[in-house]
Structures are given as structure tokens and as C-alpha cells.
Amino acid sequence: MHLPKRALAGLGLVAVSALALSACSSDSGATTDTKTTSAAAAVDLSSVCPANVVIQTDWNPEADHGHLYELLGDDYKVDASKKSVSGTLMSGGKSTGVQVEIRSGGPAIGYASVSSQMYQDKDIMLGYVTTDEGVQNSAKLPTTAVMAENDISPQMIMWDPATYPDVTTIKELGAALEKNDGVVRYFGGSAYMEYLIGNGILPKSVTDGSYDGTPSKFVVAKGNDAQQGFATAEPFIYKNQVAAWGKDVKYQLVNDTGYPIYPEAMSVRTGDLTKLSPCLKKLVPVLQQADVDYITNPGTTNKLVANLVTQYNNGWVYDEDVANYGVETMKKLKIASNGDNDYVGDMDTERVQKVIDIDTPIYEKSGTKLKSGLAPEDLFTNEFIDKSIGF
């Protein structure tokens, strides 16, 4: 099974008695509750798109998915049993004439990959597919990304700066862990870790694929060990909501070591691309604008995200404070940005080729069959991107 990348430390917050976790009431810079809407003209999707646009995410509601929840109008309805929410698909405060249904991933789909879920349930039109997952499934479950919701991945490795005060990079961390008999815990089977090992950034001897999504081992190690995480969540959670830790962590993004995947790119089944093109031509700019509107003013949508987490009630703990921190971090680290141009959502051919070059030997070594002659154009297209929409 493709191991869940989004099983963050928040999952471990259910272990209250073991870790004496406490809720956070600190002010993390929440924005106004008034939702920003673009001044664009109304967009009618009813003649070219499905009456219900179904979108499959890869985890529970969180700030990283905020652009999707920004699409919902006030008439949204929650199905707590299915961990989904649906309502009128809005653009600039106006109805597009169709509905949108946003489905949670991770535990809601048995930790299956989004690619496999898209092929099992053909009602799903769009799904989150990270670039390396696209490579991995290019032969049997091919998908084509039509928009990158974020420009770089928030995936990171974190450590205790008090224990390792001189460490500033993952490579330096690896050397320090060797001296201290420490390890980096991560979800086993992750391609990025094979990249870090294969390129000499982390010694294999300091890697431990036993991470289970909880903070317990990190806390018990008292700073001696490091751990995978997401820059948009764990640094805030561990300092403010894991009482047994309650202090800063330091980290480096995996992206900054030379592993430039696009996280959670909005993708369709490759075989459906031509059929869906008339819809995507109008829908993708709506998605771009929702991304800009959400990052610009996330207050109302973050309240919705936190409310959905509460209603879904599946062990995932995530509140407005974490969501607000997530947005600020996406802006600060340029996780959500235009990249190297003036518009949002596009993908770069050279970057995707680099991921193919890195991951092909990794997946082939594990016995995964990839598409013969796999090229960037097999994994994404920028044809639907509106170059007038950006931050």
C-alpha cells in the first residue's frame, strides 16, 4: 500500500493520556472572517462540466487544501459518515451553475493512494496527485496534472535545535545523528527518503521507517532523534499543542535538497483528458482564482476547515490556529506562490523531468513498472492555465 504522506503529528494528538496534550489558545495571526472574492465576471460551467464536480483529496481538511474549500458557497452540506462536503461551486462570489463535492483522503479511503481511488470510482473528476506518485503509477494508473495547487512541497525533516544547535541542513543533520546514535523517523516506502539516502544526504544507518504519525517517539527521544513532517503544521503543533514537547523545532524542506516535486497537483485520469478539456478550460482558472483568494484572505475558509474536522471526528485534530499558521507558512516559504512567473498553478517541464530522473531508478528497483519512455508531457499539461491569474 502506498503509505500516507499526510499522516501528520496531529493524528497522534488523540493519545491525550499518554502525552498530556493541551489545546492551544495562542493568537497565530488570524485574518478577518470576510471572504475575499475576485471581481471576475460570473463563470458558467453548467454547459461543459459535470453537474457535480467531485474532487478527491489525499488527507483530512487542512490549510494545504484551503483553495478547494474556498470554492464552497454558504449552502454547503456535510456528510460526516463519508467525510465529504458538497455545495454550489462558487467563483468570485457567484454560482458557476454546478455543484462541487470535496472528499477527504487518508483514513477516509483506507490510506489508499488518490490515483487508485480515482480509478476505482469514476465519479471522481479531479484528485490530488503528487509528482512522484504520478511517476510511480504512470503505467497502470496514469494521471495528468492540470494545476499545481502549491509551487513547492511543505515536506520537511525536523529536529531539536537545542540538541543540534549547529545543524542547519538535512545533510548536516545526518552527520550529527550518526555521532549521537540518533535516527530520522519517516513513513517507510517514501520515495523522497530513498532519494536522500541514494544521494548521500542522509546515511541509511540513521533512517528509521517506523514513523506512525504520532509524536510519542520524538518526545521520548528528548531531542536525540529527528522526524519527517510538514512545515505547514508540525512546527506549530509541537510547540503549542504537544504539551510534552512545547518548544521550537528546526527543519529543512526536502524540496531544498533537490527533490522538486509538485505536491497534491490537481489531476485527471489521463484517458479522460480530452473528454474533460472543455470543462477544464473554464474550471482551472476558477481553481487558480480560488487559490489566490484563499491565500489572500483565509479567515472564513479556515473556520470551515476546522468545523469539518470536528464534524468528521476521525481522530484528526486540527483547529483554526494551525490553519492560520499553515497559510502564513505557505506565504513565508513561497510554498504558495507564482513560482518564476506572474501566474499561479503552472508546472515546469525541467522540474518534472528531474523528478522522473530521480524516481525512475528508485521505483524500478522496488519492482514498480513505469510507463515506457515516460516524459513530462505524460504527467502534466499547462494548457488550461490562465496567465492573468496570480498572487
CA distance 70 to 55: 13
pLDDT band for 1, please (50, 70, 90 cuts): very low
Verify that 166 and 82 share a domain, yes or no: no
pLDDT in tens, 153-173: 999 999 999 999 999 999 999
Q: 312 Cβ partners below 8 Å, 6+ apart? A: 60, 61, 80, 83, 104, 108
Per-residue pLDDT, 56? 98
Per-residue pLDDT, 304? 97
Average pLDDT over residues 129-146: 97
Verify that 269 and 250 share a domain, yes or no: no
Query: Closest by alpha carbon to 65, among 77, 79, 78, 55?
Result: 55
pLDDT band for 315, please (50, 70, 90 cuts): confident
> What is the CATH number for 111?
3.40.190.10
Query: Closest by alpha carbon to 345, among 274, 264, 270, 279?
Result: 264
Average pLDDT over residues 331-338: 96
Verify that 117 and 168 share a domain, yes or no: no
Per-residue pLDDT, 42? 82
Per-residue pLDDT, 38? 47
Average pLDDT over residues 197-216: 94
* pLDDT-wise least confident of 9-18, 264-273, 286-295: 9-18
Average pLDDT over residues 130-150: 97
Query: How crowded is residue 315: how many other Cβ atoms within 10 Å of its Cβ?
Result: 14
As beta bridge partners, residue 88 has: 99
Residue 10 within a domain:
no
Q: Which residue, of 257, 272, 302, is where some domain finishes?
A: 257
* pLDDT-wise least confident of 15-19, 125-129, 207-211, 347-351: 15-19
pLDDT band for 316, please (50, 70, 90 cuts): confident
| Domain encompassing residue 177 | 155-257
Residue 217 within a domain:
yes
Verify that 137 and 273 share a domain, yes or no: yes
Q: How far is CA 115 from CA 15, 124, 134, 144, 321, in A?
A: 31, 10, 8, 10, 31
Residue 172 within a domain:
yes
Verify that 161 and 195 share a domain, yes or no: yes
pLDDT above 90 covers what percent of the chain?
85
Residue 65 within a domain:
yes
Verify that 146 and 278 share a domain, yes or no: yes
Average pLDDT over residues 130-151: 97
Q: Which residue, of 257, 289, 308, is where some domain finishes?
A: 257
Average pLDDT over residues 224-230: 97
Give the three cell numbers for residue 167. 545543524
Average pLDDT over residues 296-301: 96
**Tally of domains within the chain:** 2
Per-residue pLDDT, 142? 98
As beta bridge partners, residue 91 has: 94
Verify that 251 and 279 share a domain, yes or no: no
Verify that 143 and 186 share a domain, yes or no: no
> What is the CATH number for 211?
3.40.190
Verify that 214 and 343 share a domain, yes or no: no
Verify that 175 and 132 share a domain, yes or no: no
Query: How crowded is residue 75: how many other Cβ atoms within 10 Å of its Cβ?
Result: 11
Q: Which residue, of 257, 286, 302, is where some domain finishes?
A: 257
CA distance 157 to 49: 40
Verify that 126 and 169 share a domain, yes or no: no
| The pLDDT of residue 139 is above 50 | yes
| The pLDDT of residue 190 is above 80 | yes
Per-residue pLDDT, 41? 63
- 219, burial (CB in 10 Å: exposed 0-12, middle 13-18, buried 19+): buried
Residue 11 within a domain:
no
In what helix (H) or strand (E) does residue 134 lie, and over which residues does it extend? Answer: helix 131-136
| The pLDDT of residue 138 is above 70 | yes
Average pLDDT, rounded, for the chain: 90
What is the 3-state composition of the chain as percent helix, strand, coil, each rounded to the nearest 5?
A: 35, 15, 45
Residue 14 within a domain:
no
| The pLDDT of residue 228 is above 90 | yes
Per-residue pLDDT, 317? 87
Verify that 373 and 266 share a domain, yes or no: yes
